[in-house]
Amino acid sequence: MNILFIGDVVGDAGRRVLLARLPVLQERFKIDLTIVNIENAAGGFGVTDKILRECLAHKIDVLSTGNHVFDKREALELVGREPRLLRPHNYPVGTPGSGWYVGKTRAGEPFAVLNVMGTAFMHPVLDCPFACARTALETRPEAVKAVLVDCHAETTSEKMAMGWFLDGQVSAVVGTHTHVPTADERILPAGTAYISDVGMTGCYDSVIGMNKDKVLRRMVQKLPERLEAAEGRATLCGVVIEVDTKTGRSRGIQRLSVRED
């Protein structure tokens, strides 16, 4: 199974390059399963019904998120209605939606995706992601071997710890949230693919996807500037992971960085 995971899509620029380049990447790498983090897709903050429908119409199988999942009020209804739109699974019991999805590829291969959020320097502070991951995996159907975990966290140490914690239990642990791609992709000893952050899909002529002039006024002049997603030439960032569907172990992980031009 070839899995394409694409990092945090930010604003119009991110959606534009995502939808333009996605079919080419799916064909080139013979992708069986496509997962995209869209927590910043709506102007940098949250997701809307229109964006959700747009993504699902472009052969995206699962949509993960993070701390911005509920920035748009309508997301409270969306995560309850559409099981393929995940919110971090370690939200308290009773929160709408789920961060654990079990499905089948278009070829009929079973898979699962788990979305958890770190607790170090994050808001809101959620339940323990490690305990949450353990509990979720206990419900995994026996037929499901391929499992990908989106660990949405601020610190590389917490994401690395999750990789080691789940090594041999899942196919891949991919980090999101910091919007800066790391160069530490590898296969851990027991067969789990790992990378600390896949990077964002959006305009890199920015401050992690936000208009740099507004960020500078906020940081330098200490003005209450409203942040906006940056416009301009965008880059799609992600990884392609090859998984052995008989064992669930990964055979390879490759970083992607595709500019709009």
Residue 156: how many other CB atoms lie within 10 Å: 14
The active-site residue out of 58, 68, 152, 177 is 68
Q: Is 53 left (phi over 0), alpha (psi -120 to 50) or beta?
A: alpha
Residue 239 forms beta bridges with which residues?
A: 5, 255
SS (H, E, C) the chain: CEEEEECCEEHHHHHHHHHHHHHHHHHHCCCCEEEEECCECCCCCCCCHHHHHHHHCCCCCEEECCCCCCCCCCHHHHHHHCCCECCCCCCCCCCCCCCEEEEECCCCCEEEEEEEECCCCCCCCCCCHHHHHHHHHCCCCCCCCEEEEEEECCCHHHHHHHHHHHECCECEEEEECCCCCCCCCEECCCCCEEECCCCCEEECCCECCECHHHHHHHHHCCCCCCCCECCCCEEEEEEEEEECCCCCCEEEEEEEEEECC
Active site residue 68: yes
Q: Which residues are the active-site residues?
A: 68
